Chain A
Amino acid sequence: MCRAHATVRGLIGELVARSNHSRDIVLDMEAGLEHLTRGTARHVTRFLAVLEPYYRSMETARRVVELAKELNVPDVVIVANKVRDTGDRAAIAEFCAAHDMRLGAEIPYDPVLLEAERSGAAPIDYRQESPVVSAVKALAQSLQASAA
């Protein structure tokens, strides 16, 4: 177990055990899957598995679902990102159906993000009502509505 990951895991465990439960924690994980086997996210209640409409990305999300189950975090919300058209939508729906994955949110491809990145601004500060920010707002509302 890598010490840096173990520290994050231990800290979140302590915050959950001893502190104010009303605090939300948003953990941005390392890309890929190796970290999941280290249990960094053991104390979270829910995973968001972000995927794009191409095979290797969807396959990684499928593995996230599996690994989350092994960590006893069965609540995984699939977030389809950078969706451009009905072809993308169909590919994602087909993959999710084939692997018993629940699609929880769809976020459109949004060229404004590139502009935001170029200017070094956060997407939410660059343009409040961009399609991506609106879609994440809908996601936030659905997460809050279904939070235990």
Chain B
Amino acid sequence: MRIAIAGKGGTGKTTIAGTLARLLARSGRQVLAVDADTNPNLSVTLGIPAASARQIVSLPLDLLERRTDPDGATRSVFAADAEAVVRDYAMSGPDGVQLLMMGKVNHSGAG
């Protein structure tokens, strides 16, 4: 299953996300957790020690390529090997949950 957890700040999203990821992993599933919060805290509720969490390298911002379609429209496509990206950037935590961190958001750019 692929689940996104959303809600107002402070509602306990991250507690639920981290605990849910751990429980799914304990039931024998392979779990990839993705912290897409600009104020990332998922490592804590996953139980990854702070010293380890500080070493996580967030997803680089150069994995997308601009492509131009035959009709002249441009779009961004993911141009890297996704499994290799998971291997290179995800940190393994308790119960085997893997954690990826979203790259830094640049609010000033139109992107």
Contact = CB atoms under 8 A, between A and B. Distances in A.
A81 B16 contact: yes
A132 B33 CA distance: 19
B57 interface: no
A85 B75 CA distance: 50
A147 B3 CA distance: 10
Interface of B is mostly: mixed
Contacts of A30: 36-39
Interface residues of B, number: 64
A48 B59 contact: no
Contacts of B86: 11, 15
A98 interface: no
Contacts of A132: 15, 19
Interface of A: 1-8, 10-16, 18-20, 22-33, 35-36, 40-41, 43-52, 56-57, 60-61, 64, 73, 79, 81-82, 107, 113, 117, 120-125, 132-133, 136-137, 139-140, 143-144, 147-148
Interface of B: 1-24, 27, 29-39, 42, 44-47, 50, 59-61, 63-64, 76-78, 82-83, 85-86, 94, 100, 102-107, 109, 111
